[in-house]
Amino acid sequence: MTVGRVPENADVVIPVATVSGVHARLEKKDGNLVVTDMDSTNGTYVNERKLVPGFPVAVQPGSLLIFGDIHLAMFRVRKTIVDVPAEATKDDQQEAKTVLASAVQETS
């Protein structure tokens, strides 16, 4: 799932000027929330550490996830939920692309 400022290009929209059109990607890998900066202008941070664009980083519950500006787009990760369509068969569920929903608490 993508995070960004432009609704046409992002699954999660943060309407803040310091957030890029397509800013970051969130996904679930091996039971963890993983964030990848998509070469954003103002950076993506986990616990105030700037990510290297293109390199995925695991985000643990309790971590701060910042998109662009610490004062405008900072969230605390609470838990990760994987949503698999109910109509999918057991085999489909194994192969289905997971949709990541992260329960976050806005901190700013």
Residue 22 confidence (pLDDT) = 96
Q: Is residue 106 situated within a structural domain?
A: no
Say how far apart CA 39 and CA 79 lie, in whole Å: 26
pTM for the whole structure: 0.74
Question: Which range is least confidently modeled, 1-5, 8-12, 32-36, 88-92?
Answer: 88-92
Q: pLDDT digits over 96-107, tens only? A: 333 333 434 445
Question: 62-73 in b/e burial notation, b at 16+ Cβ within 10 A?
Answer: ebbbbbbbeebb
Tell me: the pLDDT tens digits for 20-74?
999 999 998 888 899 999 999 999 999 989 999 999 999 998 999 999 987 788 8
Is residue 103 domain-resident? Answer: no
Report if residue 98 sits inside a domain: no
CATH classification at residue 60: 2.60.200.20
Provide the number of structural domains found in the chain.
1
Q: Is residue 108 part of a domain?
A: no
In a domain, 16, yes or no: yes
pLDDT of residue 77: 86
Handedness of CA 49, 55, 20, 12 (dihedral sign): negative
Domain that holds residue 37: 2-77
